[in-house]
């Protein structure tokens, strides 16, 4: 069975500060991992994905995430927060034998203070 | 035009009514999914379909049914709506292949059941 835990339902940072959103997963088989972003009144958009190539994955809008197998983590970071980064972020896991089904974490709402 | 279109965007209805949510896509993807989003719970899979003749139950299918009318259309029905089905519903699509294919989401249907 697979599961995803996002630590912190709300994270608040100042504009220009480091963004760190935490994601830990559980999977009995090698996982595929995704980060999605949801802006108000919109659907989810893919930020980045890990598919067993490089462990450091770069995504859109300056975000990146690092896959750490020993820690079963896939934390999302951005060096300098922008006001436009305020949104809800979801971590999700899939596996090669799951036919593309995603298991989502609970979500983390990111607020950016001026 | 959006690649994944959901109708209606908002719906308010009464307990016991039958409701259909519709999803259409222009991406040419074989796989389609229905999720519901509840605060603090992330997204949970209701049903998914890998092609027109393949329908599968997800994590929370009780009280829901689906119809895959064509490759591009996937509808979700609530036969007799109840208040705890009040949620934000998303349709998503993905391409055929391994489970590392990202999913593409519609903008959601906000459903309120009184």
Q: Answer whether B74's CB lies under 8 Å from B23's CB.
A: yes
Do B42 and A106 lie within an 8 Å CB cutoff?
Answer: yes
Instruction: Answer whether A41 touches B (CB < 8 Å).
Output: yes
For residue B47, give how far its alpha carbon lies from the nearest alpha carbon of chain A (Å): 10
Residues 6+ apart with CB under 8 A from A61: A47, A78, A85
B90 phi/psi in degrees, rounded to 5: -125, 140
Please tell me the predicted confidence (pLDDT) of residue B31. 92
Assess whether pLDDT exceeds 70 at residue B1.
no
Chains A, B: CB contacts within 8 A come to: 68
Q: Name which of B99, B107, B108 is nearest A100 (Cβ-Cβ).
A: B99
Instruction: Answer whether A90 touches B (CB < 8 Å).
Output: yes
Q: Return the sign of the alpha-carbon dihedral for residues A22, A28, A30, A32.
A: negative
What percent of chain A shows pLDDT beyond 90? 76
Q: Once rounded to an integer, what is the mean pLDDT over residues B66-92?
A: 96
Burial class (CB in 10 A: 0-12, 13-18, 19+), A34: buried
Q: Name which of A46, A95, A101 is nearest B102 (Cβ-Cβ).
A: A46
Q: Which residues of A touch B25 (CB under 8 A)?
A: none
Q: Name which of B4, B35, B94 is nearest A100 (Cβ-Cβ).
A: B94
Residues paired with residue B77 on neighbouring β-strands, in sequence order: B20, B65
> How far apart are the C-alpha atoms of A25 and A31, rounded to whole Å?
9
Q: Once rounded to an integer, what is the mean pLDDT over residues A18-22?
A: 98
> How far apart are the C-alpha atoms of B49 and B55, rounded to whole Å?
5
Tell me the per-residue pLDDT of B7-30, one tens digit each, with 9 for 90 and over: 999 999 999 999 999 999 999 999
Assess whether pLDDT exceeds 80 at residue A100.
no
> How far apart are the C-alpha atoms of B57 and A55, rounded to whole Å?
33
Q: Which residues of A touch B48 (CB under 8 A)?
A: 99, 101
Q: Once rounded to an integer, what is the mean pLDDT over residues A18-30?
A: 91
Q: Once rounded to an integer, what is the mean pLDDT over residues A4-30?
A: 94
Assess whether pLDDT exceeds 90 at residue A101.
no
* B72 φ/ψ sector (left φ>0, alpha ψ -120 to 50, else beta): alpha
Instruction: Answer whether A105 touches B (CB < 8 Å).
Output: yes
> How far apart are the C-alpha atoms of B25 and A29, rounded to whole Å?
31
Structure tokens at B53: 């003749």
Please tell me the predicted confidence (pLDDT) of residue A98. 72
DSSP 8-state secondary structure symbol assigned to residue A23: E
Tell me the per-residue pLDDT of A26-80, one tens digit each, with 9 for 90 and over: 987 778 999 999 998 889 999 999 987 788 999 999 999 999 999 999 999 999 9
Please tell me the predicted confidence (pLDDT) of residue A1. 76
């Amino acid at each position: 069975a697979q599961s995803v835990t996002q630590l912190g339902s709300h994270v608040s940072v100042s504009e220009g500060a480091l963004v760190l959103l935490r994601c830990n997963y559980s999977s009995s088989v090698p996982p595929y991992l995704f980060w999605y972003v949801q802006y108000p009144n919109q659907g989810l958009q893919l930020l980045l994905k890990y598919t067993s190539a490089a462990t450091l994955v770069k995504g859109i809008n300056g975000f990146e995430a690092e896959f750490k197998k020993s820690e079963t983590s896939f934390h999302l970071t951005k060096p300098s927060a922008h006001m436009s980064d305020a949104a809800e972020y979801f971590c999700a896991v899939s596996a090669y034998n799951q036919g593309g089904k995603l298991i989502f974490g609970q979500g983390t709402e990111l607020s950016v203070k001026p | 035009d959006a690649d994944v279109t959901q109708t209606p965007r908002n719906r308010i209805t009464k307990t016991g009514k039958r409701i259909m949510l519709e999803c259409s896509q222009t991406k040419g993807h074989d796989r389609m999914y229905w999720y519901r989003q509840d605060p603090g719970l992330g997204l949970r899979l209701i049903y998914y379909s890998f092609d027109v003749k393949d329908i599968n139950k997800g994590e929370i299918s009780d009280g829901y049914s689906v119809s895959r009318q064509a490759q591009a259309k996937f509808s979700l029905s609530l036969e007799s709506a109840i208040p705890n089905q009040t949620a934000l519903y998303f349709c998503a699509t993905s391409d055929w292949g391994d489970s590392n294919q990202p999913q593409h989401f519609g903008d959601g249907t906000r459903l309120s059941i009184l």
